[in-house]
Amino acid sequence: MGVSMKFTDLDQYLFGQGTNYEVYKKLGAHPTTYRRKKGVYFAVWAPNAQSVSVIGEFNDWEEEANPMEKVGPIGVYEVFIPGAKIGQLYKFFIVGAHGEKLYKADPYANEAELRPGTASRITDITDYKWKDATWIKNREKFDEQVEPMAIYEVHPGSWKKHPQSEENEKGFYNYREFAHALAAYVKEMGYTHVELMGIAEHPFDGSWGYQVTGYYAPTSRYGTPQDFKYMVDYLHQNKIGVILDWVPAHFPKDAHGLANFDGTAVYEHADPRQGEHPDWGTKIYNYGRPEVKNFLIANALYWVEECHVDGLRVDAVASMLYLDYGKKDGEWIANKYGGNQNLEAIEFFKHLNTVVLGRNHGTVMIAEESTAWPMVTGDAEKDGLGFSLKWNMGWMNDFLEYMKLDPYFRKFNHNKMTFSMSYAYSERYVLVLSHDEVVHLKCSMLEKMPGELPDKFRNLKAAYSFMNCHPGKKLLFMGQEFGQLREWSEERELDWFLLNEEPHKELQNYVHDLLTIYKKYPALYAGDNNPEGFEWINADDGDRSIFSFVRKSPTKRNNILYIVNFTPVDRPDYRVGVPKKKQYKLIMDENGLLEQPKTFKAVKQECDNREFSFAYPLPAYGIAIFTY
């Protein structure tokens, strides 16, 4: 066997420690030359198998043709098959611990057959020539704490579609054409990052990619691994960051997948009280097993280092942290101290985040964590989990409950919009209006708003302006920027035809204007994690449902004063207290950016418990953004 391809004693040692961070370069299928013969080196971890062989198009799926040799005590099997070629399909044929015959896809495969097929495909991950060196170099200096992040969450299969055809039954865009269309749109709108759902290979479209069978394979729905890399590369060349949804919390029970991999629980816990999610019908990883931790951590590194992605949004973190998540009494096992914290998952997160962020400066790890677990974004050394950012689910729930209300009832729920500031600095947050909020009878963002259609649009503009000026990074799911009417479905493309109607086009332009000022004024992002960067002018104007606050720039120049009226009542006599006797320049209102900003001069007149103020006639659903 070629020296470089052998699963060596050192490989085995590191894999057994959970620290073989580039193990994907050995396990899986790798085209190589051995003894002057071209072929493919295969390796798989199946610790309790009786025997393993490779079956595929190169041997007519013959179960006995290419038996694998077990190397060392850890349970890795390997074989070199001369004549096997890039593009051919294969599986591992495993005789399990109890003699059962198992036909498994390769857990480390870099490409998979298009569903409903379940085989893996031989590919070469080393043959793509990257052109994003400038982006990668600049990324090392990126600091998410002080830079703007406006994230566009996208499901590639339903953003845009081609007409369906025999060759393309779902009308999917290829990664390359998707890259060109998406980059143009995202640049025009002004987002800084895209967050892509459902990239890792998964058998069922309706899972949106949250039940993964091929962790190391970009889904073949949209093309090859090279096509995928081209997409990341092209987005980088257009100065757009790429974040992927990543699902280390659970995996499906599909026969070709990780479940019961060699006839025993290899990747999951054997005891269903530890190894199954009753609600989701999926398996839970055994985070205490070094080789399983290694599989996941190396996978995160694979996407970041091999595929150049700029960060991972880690799905369902809460389900990993709590042993009793979604379980009734008797359905879970306490930890050694009798508690419900998953100590192994905590250790896993610290290890994961320290390694990924330590090796790749300027990348981000984002937790989707829905509870009040402390220090999710705290330093791993100081007993935090080590994430860069955390989704602010509390803000999202309060904000949407408030926005759904008839404006008359908002005065009784004023604190729903102010409460988030009481914990805004406990973590480093992303404000999110994600796909989860616009599916399964939850209505689109526009349809959540009260009133007739014109009122819905005015409410939504006010809502987005509040989100834009509130501390925290931003994430908005595709289609909500132009007022998609229907809920999202992965089966069809977004309703782009709505942009032929004036109110939808206006809303899209308004979001564009919000993103323009968000990126232009450091006051709106550089002090997100600094309590001195935010100050309420009036947090208690509940009777009128008006909110006013300032965002302060670290340089003290171009601070922002923000006012919003969440009722359909005009306030021609409105007056706002201000921090200083200065001139306040109106740069944006409910109609968008002003071509000619208007100046308002503060005078010595007490208002909002402040010495200085100025009058500003605030319209129904009025929005006013000033610089000073």
| Residue 214: exposure state from Cβ atoms within 10 A (0-12, 13-18, ≥19) | buried
pLDDT at 165: 84
pLDDT of amino acid 2: 40
Exposed / middle / buried, residue 248 (Cβ in 10 Å: 0-12, 13-18, 19+): buried
Task: Average pLDDT across each block of 10 residues of the chain; the chain has 628 residues. List them in order.
Answer: 72 97 97 94 98 98 97 95 97 97 98 97 95 98 97 98 86 97 98 98 91 97 97 98 98 96 97 92 96 98 98 97 95 96 98 98 97 96 97 97 97 97 97 95 95 97 98 98 96 97 98 98 96 97 98 94 98 97 97 96 97 98 98
User: Mind giving me the DSSP string for 122-156?
Assistant: ---TT------HHHHHHHTT--TTTS--EEEEE-H
Task: Report pLDDT for 3.
Answer: 38
Neighbours of 617 (CB within 10 A): 12
* CA terminus-to-terminus distance, the chain: 70
Question: What distance in Å separates the CA atoms of residue 177 and residue 517, rounded to the nearest whole number?
Answer: 30
β-partners of residue 548 are 538, 563
| pLDDT score at 198 | 97
- Can you give the pLDDT at residue 26? 96
Bond from prior residue into 248 cis (ω within 30 degrees of 0)? no
Question: How far is the C-alpha of 315 from the C-alpha of 201, rounded, in Å?
Answer: 16
Q: Which residues are CB-neighbours of 124 under 8 A, at least 6 positions away? A: 30, 31, 86
Cα 8-90-170 angle, rounded to 5 deg: 130
Question: Residue 68 is which amino acid?
Answer: M
DSSP string, 379-447: -GGGTS---SEEE-HHHHHHHHHHHHS-HHHHGGGTHHHHGGGGSTTSS-EEEEE-GGGGSTTS--HHH
pLDDT at 1: 41
Distances (CA, A) of 253 to 55, 92, 198, 213, 444: 22, 17, 18, 9, 32
Q: Given the residues 315, 344, 369, 513, select the one marked as catalytic.
A: 315
What pLDDT was estimated at residue 4?
61
Say what the pLDDT of residue 455 is. Answer: 97
Q: Which of 291, 368, 528, 541 is catalytic?
A: 368
CA distances from 200 to 11, 228, 300, 345 (A): 25, 11, 11, 21
Give the contacts of 550 (CB within 8 A, at least 6 positions apart): 534, 535, 537, 559, 560, 561, 562, 579
Q: Which residues contact 258 (CB under 8 A, 6 or more apart)?
A: 107, 213, 251, 266, 267, 268, 283
Q: What is the DSSP string of 176-226?
A: HHHHHHHHHHHHHHT-SEEEESS-EE-S-GGGTT-S-SEEEEE-GGG--HH
The architecture CATH gives domain 531-627: Sandwich (2.60)
Strand 276-277 versus strand 282-283 pairing type:
antiparallel
Residue pointed to by tokens 């949250």: 210
User: Is there a contact between 396 and 416 (Cβ–Cβ < 8 Å)?
Assistant: no
Q: How far apart are CA 246 and CA 592, in angstroms?
A: 36
CA 366 to chain centre: 7
Letter for the amino acid at 186?
A: V
Q: Output the CA–CA distances (angstroms, integers) from residue 617 to 573, 586, 606, 624, in the order listed.
A: 6, 12, 17, 10
Q: Pick the closest to residue 199 from 187, 207, 191, 188 (CA basis).
A: 207
* DSSP sequence for 51-72: EEEEEETTTTT-TTTSBPEEET
Verify whether residue 368 is a known catalytic residue. yes
In total, the chain counts a number of residues equal to: 628
- Name the class of domain 1-132+156-367+380-391: alpha beta
Domain regions of the chain by residue span: 1-132+156-367+380-391, 531-627
Does residue 169 sit in helix, strand or coil? coil
